[in-house]
Chain A
Amino acid sequence: MTFKKWTALLIAMMMVVGTLAACSSAPAEATAAAEPEATQEVVASEPEATAEPFTLVFWHTYGDGEEEQFKNVVLPMWNELHPEITIEAVRQDGGQYHEMIVTSFGTGQSPDVARIDIVNTAAYASQGGLVALSDYEDFAALKDTFLEGPLSTNLYQGGYYGLPLDTNCKAAVINTAIMKDLGIEGAPATMEEFIAAAETRGTYSLNVSGVGDWDLYPYFWLFGGSLTDEGFTKASGYLDGADSVAAIQTMLDLHAKKVFTIRDVDGSVDAWDGINSEYAMFFEGPWFFGSYEERLSQGIIAATIPTYNGRSASVVGGENIAVFATSKHTDAAYEFAKFMTSEAVQLAMLEKGQLPVLKSLVNNETVLNNPVWSVYMAQLESASARIPSPNNEQIKQVWSDAMTEIFVNGADVQTTLTAAAQQMDGLLG
């Protein structure tokens, strides 16, 4: 071989070694990710013995206001309690947050602890990505301090894989001027009263955006429908039961009578826009009232969803805080999760509109004195969680497919719900 060839070979070898070296670090980290259960057991049985300082990575999707409150008020409280544990708070983009977490599962770069959407908790748990917090000894006592609805969103196969962090639900947003035109002062107490008044108006008074679970579940439950049994194990006999069929039929009747419109079906004006001039009411989360004073000046108020057959209904939203199985400090991460659900932190975050998840704060003065928070906290009592299942996405799809068939394509209610219930049965098992 000539000198040139040897040089070329040498360079090639260096590139190969470089490439392999660059790639070899990933599998080493991936190995840690591949044995989360073992790590979890070791860490769980041997709490942090040393007082050596370390860092916990905390992912969240707080907005500007909440992030500021977290950094300036909450973190100093933590630092005082645990000076040896530094919290590295990483604000992620809310739009692609779920994808970020899924990717982190694959690369073994998950955070130690994160604020996650309630609907994804069971799915992450089913992948082995989260630590079962119910395995901790003090969890049994801790669990009773939380509101039932938000807590249930952490359930997966009998274990709890997170703690509720903040909550919300849908409540009624009322245009008082239009209600007055309908002959109702302020918010209607019952749906029966509202429907009777709105039927004669001749134009839509009640609006919902689409046919998805977050949109239609409150109406479905309000009119008497049910998705599954209490243990979320079976949909047949519930989703396609007589009460559920009647609930959907009520919605169809209201739609036919031009009381109730679905924006995505009818091409009607979006609720946030239409509530100012066209609609008397729609259901929305507390974020609609960014500035309550401004809304109030427009004659728009928050109220609990009017009862139908004597009971109200809503759907639970919000976030949980979960400890990731790949964390090397699961005990400390659990400690941080508990800290985030403590009364002091919950009250601090409430100042920025994060509704608390503790039973002890339902009747707190700060909550009761706020015209929006008090409504939503009261509504939470009749709010239900969506099915806590690792197959949440598919269940959501089955629901919206069925509703599209009924509301867009005019499919038979009973037949469609029976087919949907059978599909859901397969996803609940």
Chain B
Amino acid sequence: MIALRHSLMEPTNLEHSGKGKHVQRNAVSKRKWKKGVKGWLAALPFVLPGLILVGLFVLYPMLFTIRISLSNYRIVQGQIDFVGLKNYINILTDASGRFWYAYRNNFLYALVTVPLILFGGMVFAYLINNLKRGRTMFKVGFYLPVITSWVIVSLVFTYMFNNSDRGLINYILVDKLHILNDYVPWLLREWSGNAAIWLMGAWKNIGWAMLIFLAALQSIPRDLYEAADLDGAGIWGKFRHITIACLKPTAYYVLVNMIIGSFNVFIQVMLLTEGNPNGRTSVLQYLLYDKAFGQFQFGEASAIGLISAVTIVILTTLLNRMLKLDTVEKGGADA
């Protein structure tokens, strides 16, 4: 009896000892691991194709780009010679300062066009939403630039900003209004060239923002306005405390998208100014293109690509933190 009792007591003693704890923990973790593997095996058929595709078309090119950015790459032979940070140093210390102008111009593009698109889109959406008739006509009108080809729009802008009396702006300012004495080569000057690029970007994207805001406006419950009416709120009060408040999550969505989009500006620069004069209207994507295709500097082009990618990641993270997007989304959902 004593022996039996003793043997029954043994496990209890073991439980209290370190070895016992270890065995138990092992058993638990083994069970967890088995469960995990089982879960993975069940999920694998569904995620594997996606993982492989992401690996092939996203991760591999990304890693390859990092490798090229640290190498001298001869495209025909596929010869990749490691050169360390030389490509980065070259672009950052280039005597013409082309990289820094391009980098600056990306930020300037964001600073100028994003507020224009954001507020323009919001105001036009508000006005269209309050129209009794002709909503569709205005919606189509504002959205047309979005679906119009960049090339066609660029041709129109090139004509408008043409450098002689053949350009609309010169014709109006010099020949009609006599504000200027001489024709100005708008697209070949640093600030007027940049202004044309900004204007085109804003004009082309404002319709997209308008449509997003319009959708958001239409989702604001009517009873909020009715309640405000009962409380005696005026038009401005309703706009400020209901409309603006409810549009916040949408505004942040448009803001983040537009800022990221500002670092992908390319077509308008290529078609309007080609970065002239002396790279003063260039942007990172155009510089990358010029380095790769014009100069066969694939290493430097990759370095530019990575710098812009890192910039976008930093900006997105900062925006997420500064705007507290998670909170906003919850707030939006509540609203």
Contact status A127-B74, CB under 8 Å? yes
User: Does residue A352 face the partner (Cβ distance < 8 Å to B)?
Assistant: no
- Contact partners of B42 in chain A: CB under 8 A: 5
Q: A128-B77, A264-B188 are in contact. Are A9 and B182 (CB under 8 A)?
A: no
Contact status A19-B76, CB under 8 Å? no
User: Does residue A220 face the partner (Cβ distance < 8 Å to B)?
Assistant: no
A214: min CB distance to chain B, Å: 14
Contact status A33-B78, CB under 8 Å? yes
Contact status A397-B96, CB under 8 Å? yes
- Contact partners of A128 in chain B: CB under 8 A: 74, 76-77
Contact status A99-B293, CB under 8 Å? yes
Within 20-73 of B, Cβ neighbours of A (below 8 Å) are at 41-42, 44-46, 48-49, 52-53, 56
Q: A1-B41, A263-B163, A397-B96 are in contact. Are A106 and B75 (CB under 8 A)?
A: yes
Contact status B295-A404, CB under 8 Å? no
Contact status A269-B46, CB under 8 Å? no
- Contact partners of B276 in chain A: CB under 8 A: 404
- Contact partners of B45 in chain A: CB under 8 A: 5, 8-9, 11-12
A16 to B44, CA, bound (A): 12
Q: A1-B41, A8-B45, A8-B46 are in contact. Are A267 and B56 (CB under 8 A)?
A: no
Contact status B78-A267, CB under 8 Å? no
User: Does residue B203 face the partner (Cβ distance < 8 Å to A)?
Assistant: no
Q: A1-B41, A8-B46 are in contact. Are A267 and B296 (CB under 8 A)?
A: no
User: Does residue B135 face the partner (Cβ distance < 8 Å to A)?
Assistant: no
- Contact partners of B182 in chain A: CB under 8 A: 266-267
A105-119 interface code vs B (CB 8 A; 1 in, 0 out): 110000000000000
User: Does residue A140 face the partner (Cβ distance < 8 Å to B)?
Assistant: no
A8: min CB distance to chain B, Å: 4
Q: A106-B75, A408-B277 are in contact. Are A126 and B184 (CB under 8 A)?
A: no
Best-surrounded residue of B48, B77, B96, B165 (most CB of chain A within 10 A): B77
Number of B interface residues in the complex (CB < 8 A): 38
- Contact partners of B292 in chain A: CB under 8 A: 102
Contact status B164-A267, CB under 8 Å? yes
Within 301-326 of B, Cβ neighbours of A (below 8 Å) are at none
Contact status A264-B163, CB under 8 Å? yes
Contact status B48-A12, CB under 8 Å? yes
A137 to B26, CA, bound (A): 78
Q: Which residue of A lies closest to B78 (CB)?
A: A34
A393 to B301, CA, bound (A): 15
Q: A12-B44, A269-B164 are in contact. Are A401 and B75 (CB under 8 A)?
A: no
Q: Which residue of A lies closest to B289 (CB)?
A: A99
User: Does residue B141 face the partner (Cβ distance < 8 Å to A)?
Assistant: no
User: Does residue B178 face the partner (Cβ distance < 8 Å to A)?
Assistant: no
- Contact partners of B166 in chain A: CB under 8 A: 269-270, 273
Contact status A36-B163, CB under 8 Å? no
B78-120 interface code vs A (CB 8 A; 1 in, 0 out): 1100000000000000011000000000000000000000000
A120 to B49, CA, bound (A): 42
Q: Which residue of B lies closest to A263 (CB)?
A: B163
User: Does residue A390 face the partner (Cβ distance < 8 Å to B)?
Assistant: yes
User: Does residue A243 face the partner (Cβ distance < 8 Å to B)?
Assistant: no
A-B contact count (CB 8 A): 102
A178 to B331, CA, bound (A): 74
- Contact partners of B281 in chain A: CB under 8 A: none
A30 to B76, CA, bound (A): 9
User: Does residue B185 face the partner (Cβ distance < 8 Å to A)?
Assistant: yes
Q: Which residue of A lies closest to B186 (CB)?
A: A267
Q: Chain A binding site: helix, strand, loop or mixed by DSSP?
A: helix
- Contact partners of A19 in chain B: CB under 8 A: 49, 52-53, 56
User: Does residue B126 face the partner (Cβ distance < 8 Å to A)?
Assistant: no
- Contact partners of A266 in chain B: CB under 8 A: 182-183, 185
Best-surrounded residue of B75, B184, B276 (most CB of chain A within 10 A): B75
A37 to B78, CA, bound (A): 12
- Contact partners of B277 in chain A: CB under 8 A: 404, 408
Partner of A16, one of B52, B76, B290: B52
A17-46 interface code vs B (CB 8 A; 1 in, 0 out): 001000100000010011111000000000
- Contact partners of A397 in chain B: CB under 8 A: 96
B196: min CB distance to chain A, Å: 14
- Contact partners of B294 in chain A: CB under 8 A: 393
- Contact partners of B48 in chain A: CB under 8 A: 12, 15-16
B43: min CB distance to chain A, Å: 10
A256-268 interface code vs B (CB 8 A; 1 in, 0 out): 0000000111111
Contact status A267-B52, CB under 8 Å? no
B158-173 interface code vs A (CB 8 A; 1 in, 0 out): 0000011110001000
User: Does residue B218 face the partner (Cβ distance < 8 Å to A)?
Assistant: no
15 contacts between A and B (CB under 8 A): A12-B48, A23-B56, A33-B76, A99-B293, A102-B75, A127-B74, A263-B164, A264-B185, A265-B188, A266-B183, A268-B183, A273-B166, A404-B276, A405-B278, A408-B277
The 5 closest A-B pairs by CB, nearest first: A267-B183, A8-B45, A34-B78, A12-B45, A9-B45
Known: A99-B293, A267-B182. 9 other contacts (CB 8 A): A23-B56, A105-B75, A127-B74, A127-B296, A128-B74, A263-B185, A266-B182, A267-B184, A269-B166
Hey, which bits of chain B sit against chain A, CB under 8 A? 41-42, 44-46, 48-49, 52-53, 56, 74-79, 95-96, 163-166, 170, 182-185, 188, 276-279, 290, 292-296
